[in-house]
Structure 1
């Protein structure tokens, strides 16, 4: 594609609401691309090309066919705010995209409600599962939802006060609370009630569906502190069990990603259900035996690895360590003497820290209360800072 693409933001008020600069771009273009609704909002003689469906697979071909002509793409509101502008930048590069923004739907919604834009969470559910909203629901929190189904949002936040803001900026603008009567072009504003859970690791064990293969709450909190999730990073959760480590890794920040590796199909299905219920439906689940399933050609290299099961299987730690990015963290937990011995030998080779975590919980004993101890867990944590030693461990070493 030789010519740059100009992306012009437009609101429900159409041509009348556009600034002079945006009007000039549209008036001078040869090809105008947008939704049928958006194309109807503006005058002009340019060739009009409605968005194909599905959009993303067809987008490169569409741009290529008109690459030598002046193209203007119409976008809702601010093209770089959950908009097509960001998609085009990823596709053709920032140097080939020029954005002419319009006030975003979030800006307009906050203006109508008297909310500070910098004090609200904005969640886009356009083409995405509604479960993504769950991690943003906290007591007293204000949330704007773009593109969400009112019925689905209400089901996820039953105690929230929900306002519908539709056709913002246009002649048919309306602000109301009748979810069943919401116009398709709407923003939902939530004022959360008392429901909602912390994103701090260490959720109650009964939050998860499991069959006993679960990293317990206290140990989970310690393990995630050692994994030290940062926005945008990827975790491999190997021997995931119920997937609690991967789920809580993803809940620390919307940009955190995880792959849960589990050999039992039934447990893998539970991981998927837990991820959806707790608001991280994008968590990827891989079913298979480690280390064979840890194919570097199939899985993106991780920034952190947690090994919760399969430590004694030959090659698991080697494969995880080899795949780990420089500066990445590996954390492994052991309960049995055999798996603890594996950690001890790996620590002698690669360094890191060994920690013993022992937890007791108060429980009834007859008419009294006593401490009921859980099995102690040995945790090994190491950061990949130095090159791997040339001499790999032998089967006898393991």
Structure 2
């Protein structure tokens, strides 16, 4: 990397230049052009560089910045530009030798230092543009979260969302303009939070999640009640076995074909925030239900495709794993077995016809063929007996 590339991304705090390193101050003094939001620019002293305000929306400024290639440019960002900041967006449009970053102290570090929280055990999340429903997987008694928010009205909306989800007793610490002269910290439970005055931007909120509320279990196989469905759902015990066979790993992409309620794809996404999934469902009403289930459980990034497989698979990003919960046909099976080497494939069968397909595929391609037979206790006259479910045949293979 060149010693001084044309673009320098500088992390600026609310204390303005007094909090900058000598390297950041030197980069500002050397710049021909300084770009940044009006709030950041207002914190700087007089400069010899030309001043350019970054436009709103943010994306509109990228082309303007790229047109300045070859000149010495400094772009101002908040705190650490690569922790829910602008830096990661900018460098997608640049070569590795075109930029350098001089980060400041992140708002997460400042919040933790004010509250005495260890960052290594605190979840840090960005909610500038994300829906609050994405908090749902993290709402468990005793959890500590620090979340950045888009504006001064957002803490009230956050408190309302937590109360509606059953976490109204969670304690909120609203942290305004950390590190500058306008810094202020107020605390209240979500249920009793009231905005008695305008909240200063930038703002983040630290959350101490209350005990005793309805939290999402971390084990595979969520109770079926978490999913709205019309009967087409991979039931909890079978879902747990299916996810175990799919063996999700961080950052992988799942195809869930014949989604039903979307339960398998949703639990795949709940494993970790880098997970990706595409759910293919033929029936439009079910596809809409899958989308709603995913949003409610905090994984609205689920890509839902309405259509019939294998045709609906055309153009999709390649999967690392595939689950077929229904609608397996010879054509679909043939298409899936032509996927890239190393792809994991799991298919469940209830009907004899589909079981025959899986038995033939197992004899030809190997893998594991398992018969799952479950029974639940149910009333039998004045006593109880076992009521058996339909047996399920599961084929699991790595291509």
TM-score scaled to structure 1, two decimals? 0.91
Structure 1 residue 179 displacement after superposition: 5.1
Matches of 2:383 and 2:156 in 1, distance apart? 48
Match of 2:49 among 26, 46, 49: 46
Q: Tell me which residue corresponds to 1:336.
A: 351
Q: Tell me which residue corresponds to 1:184.
A: 201
Establish whether residue 368 from structure 1 lines up as the match of residue 379 from structure 2: no
Within 5 Å, which residues of 2 pair with 1:117-196? 117-147=119-149, 149-154=154-159, 155-156=161-162, 157-177=167-187, 178=193, 180=195, 181=197, 182-194=199-211, 195=213, 196=215
**Cα distance per residue 1:33-56 (max 9 Å; x no partner):** 111111111121322222233323
Within 5 Å, which residues of 2 pair with 1:26-45? 26-43=28-45, 44-45=47-48
Structure 1 residue 381 displacement after superposition: 0.4
Say if 1:250 and 1:280, in contact at 8 Å, map to a contact too: yes
Matches of 1:78 and 1:330 in 2, distance apart? 41
Match of 1:304 among 312, 315, 321: 321
Structure 1 residue 23 displacement after superposition: 1.2
Within 5 Å, which residues of 2 pair with 1:9-158? 9-43=11-45, 44-56=47-59, 58-59=61-62, 61-147=63-149, 149-154=154-159, 155-156=161-162, 157-158=167-168
Structure 1 unaligned spans of 5+? 385-398
Tell me whether 68-77 or 88-97 shows the greater mean CA deviation. Answer: 88-97
Q: Relative to 1, partners in 2 of residues 1:96 and 1:368: Cα closer, same or farther, differing over 3 Å? A: farther
Matches of 1:370 and 1:306 in 2, distance apart? 33
Structure 1 residue 260 displacement after superposition: 0.5
Q: Tell me which residue corresponds to 2:275.
A: 256
Q: Tell me which residue corresponds to 1:390.
A: none
SS at match of 2:338: helix
Say if 1:3 and 1:67, in contact at 8 Å, map to a contact too: no
SS at match of 1:67: coil
Q: Tell me which residue corresponds to 1:317.
A: 333
Structure 1 residue 82 displacement after superposition: 1.3
Q: Relative to 1, partners in 2 of residues 1:308 and 1:39: Cα closer, same or farther, differing over 3 Å? A: same
Structure 1 residue 364 displacement after superposition: 3.1
Structure 1 residue 94 displacement after superposition: 3.4
Matches of 1:139 and 1:166 in 2, distance apart? 25
Matches of 2:331 and 2:52 in 1, distance apart? 54
Say if 1:144 and 1:190, in contact at 8 Å, map to a contact too: yes
SS at match of 2:362: helix
Structure 1 residue 193 displacement after superposition: 1.3
Structure 1 residue 123 displacement after superposition: 1.0
Within 5 Å, which residues of 2 pair with 1:270-285? 270-285=289-304
Within 5 Å, which residues of 2 pair with 1:183-222? 183-194=200-211, 195=213, 196-222=215-241
Matches of 1:186 and 1:364 in 2, distance apart? 56
Structure 2 unaligned spans of 5+? 188-192
Matches of 2:284 and 2:95 in 1, distance apart? 41
* CA RMSD, Structure 1 to Structure 2 (Å): 1.7
Q: Tell me which residue corresponds to 1:228.
A: 247
Structure 1 residue 356 displacement after superposition: 1.0
Q: How many residues align?
A: 378
SS at match of 1:55: coil
Structure 1 residue 165 displacement after superposition: 0.8
Say if 1:3 and 1:69, in contact at 8 Å, map to a contact too: no
Matches of 1:359 and 1:150 in 2, distance apart? 47
Tell me whether 181-190 or 262-271 shows the greater mean CA deviation. Answer: 181-190
